[in-house]
Structures are given as structure tokens and as C-alpha cells.
Amino acid sequence: MDAAAIHLTTLVDDLPGVEPAVSLGLHGMGLRCVADLLLHLPQRYDRLRFDRTIADLQTLGHNGSLPREIVELTGEIVSMRPGFRRRTPTEAVIDDGTAAMTLTFFNQPWMARKLQVGSTVLVTGEPRLYKAQLQMSNPRVSAATNASAELHSMARDLELRGVYTASEAVPSRTIAAIINRILDSAVGLLDDHLSDTFRAARNLPTLAESYRHLHRPEHGDDIPPARRRLAYDELFLLQLGVAMRRHHRQTTLRAPALSVSAAIVDRIKSRLPFTLTSAQARVLGEISGDLERTVPMNRLLQGDVGSGKTAVAAASMLLAVATGAQAVLVAPTELLAEQHMSTIRNMLDDSDVNFELLTGSTKPATRRVLLERLREGDIDVLIGTHALFNESVSFRNLALAVIDEQHRFGVHQRAMLRNAGDTDQQRPHQLVMTATPIPRTMSLSIFGDLDVSIIDERPPGRLGIITRHVEPSETDRVYAHLAERAGRGELAWIVVPVIDESAAALTDLQSHLNRLRAGPLRALRLDAMHGRLPADERDDIMARFRVGELDALVCTTVIEVGVDVPKATMIVIENADRFGLAQLHQLRGRVGRGEKAGLCVLVSEPATDDGRDRIEAMVETEDGFRIAERDLAIRGPGELFGIRQSGMPPFRVADLQRDRDLLRMARTDALALIESDPELEDPTHALLRRRLLKAHGQWMGLGDVG
């Protein structure tokens, strides 16, 4: 195929020089056409030397001036010494015609099968001196193919070479060679969705220039501006979607305006069995102000573990009920929905408010009656799970929907909560809550269409939580201390990662319960809690635990969010390094909710840097917002807050930690553009609109907006 005939949609199968086996490997990596190759950016760059021979390196080494550089050379494998399993390295000797050098492979016994004496290979690595002998440790090795020779020839004049995410079937240098062949033609096909004037004002290069420099940088200085342009594009498109959705809500959608007077707010505060903190009262005031408007409230309620979000949510729902409307509270798990039901029942024990629970466990006959009462308006507050996101669930006069742990639900699910007969422009007010504090950069980006309220004050009397890390060999001492606390009437949680035995040798629930009953906790009253238990059995176990008929519960992460047992003062988390940082923080929040300080013991022997980082962060701070920042740094935004589950595409280039200034600029630009052209209907914005809808239209629901 002539390079001029290439299009962005041309399949890799049809590209010149791409063999069927390579094409199959590219498809397996999701690289199906020219556009996919263009988007497949290098993960890093090697500064390569192609003009070194082994004899050159030996001379430099003998002179004591062996430089730090990546060298690529071709040679013949002249000898091989397999390693003994993983204890000793596999060694091979390569000769390039000028001299020989040792290649050493640690923890790679399979290299003895891959490297055959007499074969010619291409080797890339950093030469080092070990005991005055020249060697390369764990170099990249591949057959010396035509693609390798082509790339070798092409790159002699370049300072850097991109290293691509690859596979065993298609190595990085093969991908680089294919991309190099089509790069000039491919970038010439790119239309830029940013005008020359717009780019110049922000010092951004063109799309074509950016992709060319990222795939084929002539100098290191080429890379930062190109990366900055593509990172800006990702952030700008996301911010456009957020701004478009926000503008649509504020100008098109309508919600019932509630007559919330100061007297009603004061009466509701007096009904609560405790005094709101100043932070809770401030947030309740923000919510009541929203409820008085016809613009649908879309407010995110943030608060650290134990800060009292549920009390604010309950008071907000009572504001709706006091004005003759209905409210709903949706939780991600049955256990959490049941916990909310119990909490609100205790708050409103002697009131006239009618509230009911609807979950997947609700019997069909009960469900039918409940839904009829809901439509008739006989139920004031409905509490439930995802079972509420169903077309059969409709309200008579729903004014407020509270979504707990909002990141576990999609945009379309939340939009299903409405009254029977409502039009597409009618919505209830929405209050979405999270016990996972959200870093500022995340709040500005992914959740930028929500108004944010933060409860940044702990209820009076809370003494905090001490966190300790111990190795598995020390657990007998830990459980002896737990038994002492139980003797003083304190309760404890014991969290394990899995219910059943697994090949990963993780601590499972039943085995651990049996070990504790036979050993260190044999004198205590123990039981197990997990998500597979029937709802009535869970209720019974939790009730017995809450009143002190059980001393400790061995459980899974089913207790992660919202479960409130004030007498529980100690939590032991087995295999703690296997949990996410935000999850560990939530589990820790199950203690220290009463008048006594909490103790969290993390049992682990971390095998990875990330695992060690998570444990260190937990021991260092109890501040959920600092924890969230560390979690963002460790895992990145794609793993946090259910973003992947929501369908949001991951960032290819942008980094919310590194690109904060770029995010602020993209946000400002997006807000200004949507203010002037809310649906991007101007013909000059047609390409930008198409790319926005392709990137974010489905998961954001923008098809219903613009």
C-alpha cells in the first residue's frame, strides 16, 4: 500500500510490512487501525547509542570512564549457562565480531530456552562493570529482524527512542518501526479542533506536531510541549462535558421548589437526638437554600469517616417531608441500607414520618404493596439499594434523592429516580454523599458539575484512632490485647479479605474464625458476617453484636461503609496490604465512634512498594483528605471513586497530580466556551463537539443534554 493511500481507519492488517502474526498480536493489544497506533504513545524514552561496539565498551571500562547510557548492538550467542531455578542467574555470552560480553538474567530462567547458541540477536541494555568484567544485567533481547535493522538505521540520527507498551508477540521495537513508517502520513490526516488563535494564546502546538514529536522526538526538548498539548486536550474535553451538563441542569431542568422556613429548620434540628456541629449546621443551611430553588440541587456532601454525614442527610430528607414531599435514600449495599434504616428509625422513633426499606431481598408480595403505597404518597421516606433504580419504582411527590457512596452508581441510574408522569426536564433535588474524601483536583474535574459541601469537623467527644502495623508473627499478642479489651466490655471487628480459601493463600473467613475460636479468642463470643448471608441473619448478628451479646465479629469488607457500633473500639485487618488505601481508611472508621479512642491494627507483610506505601500512609495520618491525596498518587484517578465502573475512559497523557495548573486552565476555558455556546452548535465547534461526544457522551449522558 502506498503511504499516501493510508487513512486513519486503515487496518493494521493492510499496512506494508506487517506480517499476519504481527497483525494478530497488534489486534490482541487493541491496536486495530492507524488511529490506534497514533494514540499508542511511548511509555518512556531511551537515550540510545548505536555506534558502540563491545570492544569500544571494554576500552572505556578499562579507562575508568564507562558512561551511563543505553546501548544497542547485534551479536551472536556463543555460549549459555542456565540458572538453577531462581537462585542463580542465567548467563549468556554475546560476540559482536569485535569482542565478547556477558549477559546476565536474574529471575528469568526461561531465557535459557529463548537464547540458542549460534543465534543472532539484538540486545538493548546498560553496560556495567562487575568485578572488572563487562556485562549487561537483564537486557532486552530479540531476534535481529528487518524491523530491528530498519529502526536501528532510522534512529542513528535521533537522540531518543520511544519505548512502547508491547507484548511477547509484538515487541516495542516492532511497534516503533511500524509507527515510524506511517507517522508522517498519519499526522498529515489530523484535523485540529483548536483554532490557531486559541492555541497561540495558550502556547500549545498543533495536534500533528504533538503526535510527531511524541513518537519521534529529535531532542528531549520536543517532548514536554507535545505532552502538554495532549494532556490539555484530555482535560479540556472532560471539562467541556462537565460544564455542558452543569449548564443544562441550571437552565433546562426543573425541580420542585420547597418552602423551607427557618422555623422548619429549627424544628428539625430540635428533633435530632444530638446537637449538630457548626460544620453540619452550615452544610444543612447550604442544602436548605438549594431546596428552595427550582434549579435541581446537585450537591456533593463530603465528610471524613464519622463526621456525621448521615445525620445531615436525615435532616435534609425531613426538610422535604415537612413541606409535604417525599425523599429517598439509596445505598450501595443491603447492609448499609439496613444501617441507614436503623439509624433513621432511632432518630424518628416517636414521629409521624412513614419510612420503609426496599432492597433486593424484599419479598415480591411486600414489594408490590410497598410500591403502591409509594405511588399513593403513603411513604414519606424510602430507603433502599440499587433495587430502586427500576422503572416500576415511581413516587407521588419525590423532591429529594440522597445517594450514598455516589461513585458506585452511574449517571443514568441516578436519573431514573423521579415521579410518575414527570417529563424529561423534571428532576428531584439530588444530594450525593461520599465517605471517601475527594482530592481538590478530582473535585474540579470528574465531579465538577456538583456543588461541594464539606463537613470538616468531628462530632464532640470523639477521641480519634491509633493505627499500628504488625507482622503476621505478632498476631498472638494482638489478639491477647483484643481479649483484654473484650473483658472490659469493648467490642472488636476482625476483617479478612476473602470468604473462601483461595490459591493466593489469603486469610479466609471460616478458617480464621475456627483458628481464633480454638486459640487466642477461645474465651470470647464470636460470629461471622459477610455479604452472602441472608438479610434477616445479618440483621440478627448485627443486633446481637451492637448490644454486646457478641464480643467480636470476623467479617469481610461488607462492613466497610456506614456501619455504626459505638461500643466497637478495636479493629484488626488481616492481609492489610491487599486492601486499597481508601478502603483501609473506611474500615478503620468502624471504630472510635463512641466515647473511647479506637485502635486499628494492620496485619501484613507487604511484598510490593505500593503495599508498603499504603501501610505507611495509614500509620502516618488519620486525616481522610491526606489519605485521599496519597491514594490518588499511588493508584491514579482511574482506580478511584468508581471512575472505571462509570465508563469514563482513562487518561492517556494527563496526570491530575502533575497537571493541576493545566486542569485549572482547561476548566476556565471550558466554562467560558459553554457560556457562549452551551451546546457547541457554532459550525466552528463542530469537530470539537464530535470529539467531546465520542470521548464522554455516553458515560456522561451528554446525548440527552446537547
DSSP string across 324-370: T-EEEEE-SSHHHHHHHHHHHHHHTTTS---EEEE-TTS-HHHHHHH
Instruction: Between 81 and 631, name the one with better pLDDT.
Output: 81
Q: Which residue in this structure is represented by grid cell 424510602?
A: 382
Q: For residue 119, give every residue at least 6 positions away whose Cβ sits within 8 Å of its Cβ, in sequence order, or none.
A: 76, 77, 143
pLDDT single digits (tens) 206-216: 999 999 999 99
Measured distance CA(519)–CA(477) in Å, rounded: 12
pLDDT single digits (tens) 286-306: 999 999 999 999 898 988 777
No. of H helices and E strands in the chain?
26, 23
On whether the CB atoms of residues 249 and 449 are closer than 8 A, the answer is yes
> What proportion of the chain, given as a percentage, has pLDDT over 90?
49
Q: What stretch(es) of the chain map to CATH 2.40.50.140? A: 44-163
Measured distance CA(464)–CA(594) in Å, rounded: 10
Measured distance CA(319)–CA(400) in Å, rounded: 9
> What proportion of the chain, given as a percentage, has pLDDT over 70?
89
Partners of 454 in the β-ladder: 302
Measured distance CA(307)–CA(610) in Å, rounded: 28
Partners of 572 in the β-ladder: 494, 601
pLDDT single digits (tens) 109-157: 888 888 889 999 989 888 988 877 889 998 988 877 655 555 555 444 4
pLDDT single digits (tens) 586-605: 899 899 888 888 999 999 99
Measured distance CA(19)–CA(30) in Å, rounded: 17
The per-residue pLDDT for 635 is: 67
The per-residue pLDDT for 129 is: 86
CATH of region 44-163, choose from 3.40.225.10, 2.30.30.90, 2.40.50.140, 2.60.40.10: 2.40.50.140
pLDDT single digits (tens) 346-364: 777 778 899 999 988 889 9
pLDDT single digits (tens) 379-430: 999 999 888 877 788 899 999 999 887 555 555 555 667 676 577 788 899 9
Class of domain 465-621: alpha beta
On whether the CB atoms of residues 80 and 112 are closer than 8 A, the answer is yes
The per-residue pLDDT for 159 is: 61
Q: State pTM to two decimals.
A: 0.74
Q: What stretch(es) of the chain map to CATH 3.40.50.300? A: 262-292+307-434, 465-621
Q: Which residue in this structure is represented by grid cell 439509596?
A: 330
On whether the CB atoms of residues 48 and 70 are closer than 8 A, the answer is yes
CATH (residue range 262-292+307-434): 3.40.50.300
pLDDT tier, 2 (very low <50, low <70, confident <90, very high otherwise)? low
Report the relative pairing of strands 429-434 and 381-384 from DSSP bridges.
unpaired
Say yes or no to pLDDT of 61 above 90: no
pLDDT single digits (tens) 247-283: 988 899 999 999 998 899 988 888 887 889 999 999 9
Report the relative pairing of strands 598-603 and 465-470 from DSSP bridges.
parallel
